[in-house]
Amino acid sequence: MQKIVIDTNVIVSSLIQRGYPNLIINDLFIEQKFQLCISEELLAEYYKVLARPKFSKFTDFFIRAEALLVEIETKATKYIPTITLDLISDVDDNMILELADECLADFVITGNTTDFTFPIYKQTKIVTPKEYWDIYKPQ
């Protein structure tokens, strides 16, 4: 089973629009077609970002976010990264690679192509939601 780390921006997008992030979360993660890997730090970021007042303009955003966070806490596998990296200019994004390194992730799915400028880190492919859906999604 694929091990996946999902950047916070993909989680947010999955709750706002009906695109690839939504398909990845609802058709694959909820159905447990891959193993979502999280850390305490990443989970804390999910909670912090999803609670931002700016998302109140989206219908039922907070209710859907809370339900998704329950699914994540229930179904994801938690890891404790043991390395500290400084490869990405946005310091918070280094935790994504630290987690990917710890869990030996197959993929990091991110919409942040500004900071994730490289296609692979060790064994982990760094892909956009569209790339993941079109090329790598489990059948």
* Site of tokens 């209710």: 63
Question: Domain limits at 8?
Answer: 3-136
Residue 94's pLDDT is 92
Higher pLDDT, 8 or 115: 8
Domain count, the chain: 1
* Cβ(76)–Cβ(36) below 8 Å: yes
Domain at 95, CATH number? 3.40.50.1010
80-110 per-position pLDDT tens digit: 999 888 888 787 889 999 999 999 999 999 9
* Site of tokens 């390194």: 101
Is residue 32 pLDDT above 90, yes or no?
Answer: yes
Taking all residues of the chain, what is their mean pLDDT, rounded to a whole number? 94
Cα first-last separation, the chain: 11
